């Protein structure tokens, strides 16, 4: 857990660097996520950081609150974004910092195998914090794109890539599509020059390319045509057309670039 929260703190610092010195009115700037402003990305992170803390400390309360959100409609992240639009920027920023510090403090010393409830199946605490890393990087990408900032890729991308590979079946299930019973080999060029790999070495179906491209694709921040990923096989091709590393309703993806 200490390694995971260290990586979470590092991703948090990247967010803070982008927000440093940003005037309040710039927080109202639209991001590539349709209907979401920069402020919405931050309120989203703060809300679900606190939700994670509640799932750890008060699992029964979390389960009841999650049930209420889901029953009101799976678009509840969008509704929450609108709900917190009136929050003054200094209060919003303080909320994010407070929630993130609390999350790191509450989880860093716990057993990574502890089970916690979430908006779906329960998961290990290690998986919950890894998901927070993924969310921070994904929503940080929206902020970076809005501000025209290029972030240097790091080995922390392996967390996002691992979730993306593991969520292959979910990407089909959330769309009520059959999951292809075919093994897929994924080989990615990591920022440190190493190769990250998943799946059988002898699998006929393969996805290869840059880890950054793969991560941007599975969090649906880039269209597949904007990457240089190489795909072999029908099952792998079908997967990359709908790949989704995040929980919740099926994401619409990003539009294809204009030729």
Coil, strand, or helix at residue 217? helix
Residue 259 confidence class, pLDDT cut points 50, 70, 90: low
Cβ atoms of 226 and 255 within 8 Å: the answer is: no
Distance from C-alpha of 255 to C-alpha of 167, rounded to nearest angstrom: 21
> What's the longest Cα–Cα distance across the chain?
55
Residue 64 has which token pair?
Answer: 């009841």
Residue 256 has which token pair?
Answer: 């294809």
Cβ atoms of 131 and 159 within 8 Å: the answer is: no
Name which of 185, 167, 139 is nearest 250 in CA terms.
Answer: 167
Q: Is the pLDDT of residue 83 over 80?
A: yes
What was the pLDDT predicted at 43?
Answer: 98
Residue linked to tokens 């292809």: 180
Q: Is the pLDDT of residue 258 over 80?
A: no
Residue 93 has which token pair?
Answer: 């920023």
CA triplet 225, 226, 232: central angle to 5 degrees? 50
Residue 249 confidence class, pLDDT cut points 50, 70, 90: confident
| Span 84-96, pLDDT tens digits | 999 999 999 999 9
| Span 119-138, pLDDT tens digits | 988 999 999 999 999 999 99
More confident: 74 or 60: 60
Q: Is the pLDDT of residue 254 over 70?
A: yes
Cβ atoms of 256 and 225 within 8 Å: the answer is: yes
The predicted model gives 98-103 an average pLDDT of 98
Cβ atoms of 227 and 248 within 8 Å: the answer is: no
Element (H, E) at 195: strand 195-198
Whole-prediction pTM value?
Answer: 0.95
Percent of the chain with pLDDT over 90: 91
Element (H, E) at 67: helix 59-71
């Amino acid at each position: 857990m200490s390694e995971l929260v260290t990586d979470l703190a590092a991703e948090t610092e990247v967010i803070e660097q982008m927000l440093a010195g940003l005037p309040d009115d710039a927080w109202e700037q639209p991001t590539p996520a349709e209907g979401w402003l920069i402020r919405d990305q931050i309120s989203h992170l703060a809300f679900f950081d606190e939700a994670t803390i509640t799932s750890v400390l008060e699992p029964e309360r979390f389960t009841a609150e999650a049930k209420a959100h889901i029953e009101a409609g799976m678009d509840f992240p969008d509704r929450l974004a609108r709900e917190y639009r009136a929050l003054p920027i200094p209060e919003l920023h303080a909320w994010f910092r407070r929630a993130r510090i609390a999350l790191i403090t509450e989880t860093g010393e716990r057993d990574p195998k502890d089970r916690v409830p979430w908006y779906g199946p329960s998961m290990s605490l290690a998986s919950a914090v890894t998901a927070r890393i993924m969310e921070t990087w994904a929503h940080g990408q929206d902020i970076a794109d809005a501000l025209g900032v290029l972030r240097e890729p790091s080995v922390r991308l392996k967390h996002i890539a691992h979730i993306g590979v593991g969520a292959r079946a979910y990407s089909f299930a959330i769309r009520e599509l059959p999951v292809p019973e075919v093994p897929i080999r994924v080989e990615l060029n990591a920022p440190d020059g190493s190769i990250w790999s998943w799946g059988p070495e002898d699998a006929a179906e393969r996805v290869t390319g840059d880890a950054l491209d793969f991560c941007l694709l599975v969090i649906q921040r880039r269209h597949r045509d904007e990457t240089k990923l190489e795909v072999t096989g029908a099952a792998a091709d079908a997967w990359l057309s709908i790949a989704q590393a995040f929980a919740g309703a099926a994401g619409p993806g990003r539009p294809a670039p204009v030729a």
